[in-house]
């Protein structure tokens, strides 16, 4: 049994839930442990609903800051080709990105992997990312994505990955809940109707969730150029406005489209840490929520965000919300980063600390100078000290960050290993 004691406040995962009671988690080791939360607050583990872990190896590249998305895509593609994407690079980049996630309070990461060079070891890449997560003790949702891949090859690859990584699962989730698989084209700007249809067939066969990106800058532009229609028109026609689908970004949506999304039952993911600094738009989150759409929070990848700090992006979501609607309350955004993201993954056991939760949580210090004078320590998590690290992080009842440090790895060793790989000539 794991008991977290002495916290100033416990945020259970809903906007109106706060208490000061101890939190008790069934520990997988069955050994009694106590984590000291004095001077801190406890929250559910954060859920990053949209990441591209490979991009943790490609941050702040020249030509990628503040440029139109069409240009950005070309620069990133050239960088992938120059370095060579293989299982080794995928695993090292994932180790860095997932370590960064845990050290910023994120216990579950949805990795939308879109880069599959011709002839690459697709199963090896997926396995390397899954191994990185398991080694660190993080939960992973690995999304077999597609970006201009041959439609049939994308579907066949997704099938191979599922049959190798989760051969006995019927819902796309491992028995211990640490690994989940999903499928998702990059968007209508990248992939054709056949790709969406074939990956939907794979999802139906194996009980997987579906995810894609919609209504970012380039998505709308190319949809209008290529089809004379907006992205959501195409997604609806192609069978991708359904309750098992999560749409990331949604920066450019009309009131009529929001109503259509609400009626479809989809979930959404807001990614302000990517879209805002790159000038690609701001999702009208308040309008989405008002229509009853479940909205999660994601960082997107290091090629556009440069960081995987979901709590910092939650703060940014607060700061920019007034530009497209009413200001979002801090607890609403914290719920987006926990239970809202979990809803999009179809994982009701994640993102909260009520009975039936999976036992993922964070202890955050709030007794330093950055939090002095803060009236509401839960709101202060977002408004104050945007780069804070959690004191402790627990996943499935196991402590994976203790006293601000990873338990299962050394973060400096992970960083050094990735940098060595990046400096090697392409074979």
Average pLDDT over residues 49-76: 94
State which of 313, 344, 375 marks the end of a domain.
344
Q: 373 in a domain, yes or no?
A: yes
- Same domain as 71, residue 23: no
Q: 354 in a domain, yes or no?
A: no
Q: 105 in a domain, yes or no?
A: yes
State which of 310, 344, 378 marks the end of a domain.
344
Structure tokens at 91: 């695993």
- Same domain as 51, residue 28: no
**pLDDT, the chain, mean:** 94
Mind giving me the DSSP string for 216-231? SHHHHHHHHHHHSS-H
Please name which of 357, 371, 368, 364 lies closest in space to residue 393, comparing C-alpha atoms: 364
Helices 122-136/87-102 angle, 10° precision? 30
Q: Are 207 and 182 in contact (CB under 8 A)?
A: no
pTM comes to 0.96
What is the tally of structural domains in the chain?
Answer: 2
- Same domain as 370, residue 290: no
- The rounded distance, in Å, linking the Cα atoms of 419 and 374 is 39
- The rounded distance, in Å, linking the Cα atoms of 280 and 165 is 35
Q: In 3-state terms, what secondary structure has residue 120?
A: coil
Average pLDDT over residues 66-84: 93
pLDDT tops 80 at residue 138: yes
Q: 35 in a domain, yes or no?
A: yes
pLDDT in tens, 44-55: 999 999 999 999
Give the phi and the psi of residue 393 in degrees, each rounded to 5.
-135, 135
Q: Are 51 and 298 in contact (CB under 8 A)?
A: yes
Structure tokens at 85: 């994407």
* pLDDT in the model for residue 217: 84
Average pLDDT over residues 309-318: 97
- Same domain as 318, residue 209: yes
Residue 284 belongs to domain spanning = 46-344
Strands (E) in 201-286, as ranges, are 209-214, 245-249, 267-270
Q: 151 in a domain, yes or no?
A: yes
Helices 122-136/151-165 angle, 10° precision? 40
Q: 293 in a domain, yes or no?
A: yes
Domain containing 383 — which CATH number?
Answer: 2.30.40.10
- Same domain as 268, residue 386: no
pLDDT in tens, 348-361: 999 999 889 999 99
- Same domain as 34, residue 183: no
pLDDT in tens, 78-101: 999 999 999 999 999 999 999 999
- Same domain as 35, residue 83: no
* pLDDT in the model for residue 386: 81
- Same domain as 168, residue 37: no
The residues near 150 (Cβ < 8 Å, ≥ 6 apart) are: none
State which of 287, 315, 344 marks the end of a domain.
344
- Same domain as 369, residue 252: no
Return the DSSP state at 246.
Answer: E
> For every residue of 390-402, which 3-state class applies, written as one string?
CCEEEECCEEEEE
Q: 161 in a domain, yes or no?
A: yes
pLDDT tops 60 at residue 72: yes
| Residue pointed to by tokens 């800051």 | 65
Q: 424 in a domain, yes or no?
A: no
Give the phi and the psi of residue 44 in degrees, each rounded to 5.
-60, 160
Structure tokens at 333: 């955004």
Q: How confident is the model at residue 418 (pLDDT cuts 50, 70, 90)?
A: very high
Average pLDDT over residues 72-82: 95
* pLDDT in the model for residue 427: 64
* pLDDT in the model for residue 20: 61
pLDDT tops 70 at residue 227: yes
- Same domain as 256, residue 327: yes
Domain containing 141 — which CATH number?
Answer: 3.20.20.140
Q: Are 44 and 360 in contact (CB under 8 A)?
A: yes
| Residue pointed to by tokens 């949580």 | 361
The residues near 29 (Cβ < 8 Å, ≥ 6 apart) are: 397, 398
- Same domain as 289, residue 241: yes
- Same domain as 261, residue 120: yes
Helix, strand, coil share (%) of the chain residues, nearest 5: 40, 20, 40
């Amino acid at each position: 049994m794991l008991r977290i004691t002495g916290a100033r406040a416990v945020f259970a995962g809903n906007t109106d839930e706060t208490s000061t009671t101890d939190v008790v988690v069934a520990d997988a080791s069955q050994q009694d442990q106590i984590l000291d939360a004095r001077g801190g607050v406890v929250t559910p583990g954060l859920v990053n609903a949209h990441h591209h872990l490979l991009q943790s190896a490609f941050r702040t590249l020249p030509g990628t800051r503040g440029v139109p998305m069409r240009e950005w895509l070309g620069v990133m593609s050239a960088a992938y080709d120059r370095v060579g994407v293989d299982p080794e690079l995928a695993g090292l980049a994932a180790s860095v990105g997932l370590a960064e996630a845990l050290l910023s309070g994120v216990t579950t990461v949805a990795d939308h992997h879109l880069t599959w060079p011709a002839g690459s070891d697709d199963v090896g890449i997926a396995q390397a990312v899954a191994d990185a997560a398991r080694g660190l003790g993080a939960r992973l949702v690995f999304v077999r994505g597609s970006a201009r891949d041959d439609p049939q090859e994308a579907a066949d690859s997704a099938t191979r990955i599922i049959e190798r990584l989760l051969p006995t699962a019927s819902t796309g989730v491992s028995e211990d809940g640490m690994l989940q698989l999903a499928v998702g084209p990059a968007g209508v700007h990248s992939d054709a109707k056949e790709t969406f249809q074939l990956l939907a067939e794979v999802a139906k066969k194996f009980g997987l969730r579906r995810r894609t990106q919609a209504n970012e800058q380039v998505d709308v532009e190319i949809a209008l150029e290529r089809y004379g229609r907006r992205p959501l028109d195409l997604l609806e026609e192609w069978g991708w406005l359904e309750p098992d689908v999560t749409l990331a970004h949604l920066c450019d949506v009309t009131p009529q489209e929001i109503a259509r999304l609400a009626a479809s039952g989809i979930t959404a993911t807001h990614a302000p840490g990517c879209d805002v600094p790159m000038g690609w738009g701001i999702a009208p989150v308040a309008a989405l929520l008002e229509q009853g759409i479940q909205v999660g929070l994601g960082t997107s990848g290091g090629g556009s965000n440069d960081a995987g700090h979901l709590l910092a992006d939650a703060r940014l979501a607060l700061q920019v919300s007034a530009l497209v609607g009413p200001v979002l309350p801090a607890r609403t955004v914290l719920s987006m980063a926990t239970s809202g993201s979990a809803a999009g993954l179809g994982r009701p056991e994640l993102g909260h600390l009520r009975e039936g939760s999976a036992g993922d949580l964070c202890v955050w210090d709030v007794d330093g100078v950055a939090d002095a004078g803060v009236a509401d320590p839960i709101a202060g998590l977002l408004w104050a000290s945007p780069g804070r690290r959690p004191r402790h992080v627990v996943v499935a009842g196991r402590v994976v960050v203790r006293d601000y440090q990873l338990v299962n790895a050394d973060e400096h060793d992970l960083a050094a290993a990735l940098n060595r790989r990046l400096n090697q000539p392409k074979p």
